[in-house]
Amino acid sequence: MLRLLTRGAGSPRALPRWNHGVLRLSSTFTIPKTQKGVIFYENNGPLHYKDIPVPVPKPNEILINVKYSGVCHTDLHAWQGDWPLPTKLPLVGGHEGAGVVVAKGSEVKNFEIGDLAGIKWLNGSCMSCELCENGHESNCEHADLSGYTHDGSFQQYATADAVQAAHIPKGTDLAEVAPVLCAGITVYKALKDADLKAGQWVAISGAAGGLGSLAVQYAKAMGYRVLGIDGGAGKEELFRSLGGEVFIDFTKHKDPKEMIRAVQEATKGGPQGVINVSVSEAAISMSCEYVRPTGTVVLVGLPAHSYVKSEIFSHVVKSINIKGSYVGNRADTREALDFFARGLIKSPIKVVGLSELPKVYDLMKTGKILGRYVVDTEK
């Protein structure tokens, strides 16, 4: 174990691989040389729960002792390697990490040792291109992605660019806030992109999953009427417990036309907005048919090798909009966390040990997850 000292409190002891000239080190936290993490060396290869080195933060980074991390469908894609964007290898996945700052680089001004901090999907961006200047950091072509191009939060210690790391209020339940760091921010941003008015209908396709369960709550808190679409045991009960108004079980509507009619009848003409968080290509394309004229279909879920299909004549005559919504920026992060801090959002989570991550992926692949799984890095 390595005992790290703050600058000015005495010279740090000789520590291999750590450059003390660019680090502000903790006098209250003991940082080990190695840690437990889940790492894979090839896509779709074995997931190894093992001892790995503790990363060294760069001058612009903070080192976070990750206590809990949410498990996102994106983590499954990163492991399987089925997206067009290649991952780094070897890779530690995870991008919903909540924990405590235990060290920071010399350039970091916005975090102090002992602060609570969150690791998001967007680990860092250039902050100097046109997209970053206009608040679209996630679209930066130099974006660094946690658990994809940058080792993520499925380890006990992880680094994050201090500019993009999330500030978490003291006293926050770190297990419950973890899913907000990706799922919450993502669906909140998608609801903003739908550009709805209070009292209008929004359909959440995939309403009882990790993103959907949070989308239902954000939609209610923003004043919208919520129709949920999902299927399987316990999903309607979860949806209604979160404040959803109308639930449609797609497993009971085998005919697509019947499904479209059910949504439109329930909303008296179709929802003004649709948030697609499911990973079903058919469900996404169907939303373009049941959305209300002049409504907005927002694409969030990313099924591999899939396309959204919208018949052009109807698309034009109905004047519908189809938008992609890709996580949120720093302002979206602050706003989404504020909803959580005010008690308007609750994370329906199940906590398991980090060592059980492969089992979570198995459940995810079969669509058997209600809410969000969160891993405890100490187990």
pTM: predicted TM-score of the whole model, two decimal places: 0.87
Extract long-range pairs of 283-290: CB within 8 Å, 24+ residues apart: 283/205, 283/206, 283/229, 283/250, 284/205, 284/308, 285/309, 285/310, 286/256, 286/259, 286/260, 287/203, 287/205, 288/314, 288/315, 288/320, 288/322, 289/260, 289/314, 290/203, 290/259, 290/260, 290/263, 290/264
Whether 331 has a pLDDT exceeding 50, the answer reads yes
Q: Which helix (H) or strand (E) holds 194?
A: helix 183-194
Whether 339 has a pLDDT exceeding 80, the answer reads yes
Whether 19 has a pLDDT exceeding 70, the answer reads no
Query: What are the φ and ψ backbone dihedral angles of 132, each rounded to 5 degrees?
Result: -60, -40
pLDDT tens profile 230-243: 988 888 999 999 99
pLDDT for res 11: 33
> pLDDT-derived band of residue 347, with 50, 70 and 90 as boundaries?
confident
pLDDT for res 378: 94
pLDDT for res 210: 82
CA distance 202 to 287: 11
> pLDDT-derived band of residue 26, with 50, 70 and 90 as boundaries?
low
Helices then strands, each counted (H, E), the chain: 11, 20
User: What whole-number percentage of the chain has pLDDT above 90?
Assistant: 78
User: What whole-number percentage of the chain has pLDDT above 70?
Assistant: 93
Least confident residue range of 52-56, 163-167, 314-318, 361-365: 361-365
pLDDT for res 6: 36
Whether 7 has a pLDDT exceeding 50, the answer reads no
> pLDDT-derived band of residue 253, with 50, 70 and 90 as boundaries?
confident
Tokens, residue 133: 């200047």
> pLDDT-derived band of residue 30, with 50, 70 and 90 as boundaries?
confident
pLDDT for res 23: 56
CA distance 156 to 144: 20
Whether 12 has a pLDDT exceeding 70, the answer reads no
pLDDT tens profile 71-111: 988 899 999 998 888 999 999 999 999 999 999 999 999 99
pLDDT tens profile 104-151: 999 999 999 999 999 999 999 999 999 999 999 999 999 999 999 999
> pLDDT-derived band of residue 25, with 50, 70 and 90 as boundaries?
low
More confident position, 302 or 323: 323
The average confidence (pLDDT) of the chain is 90
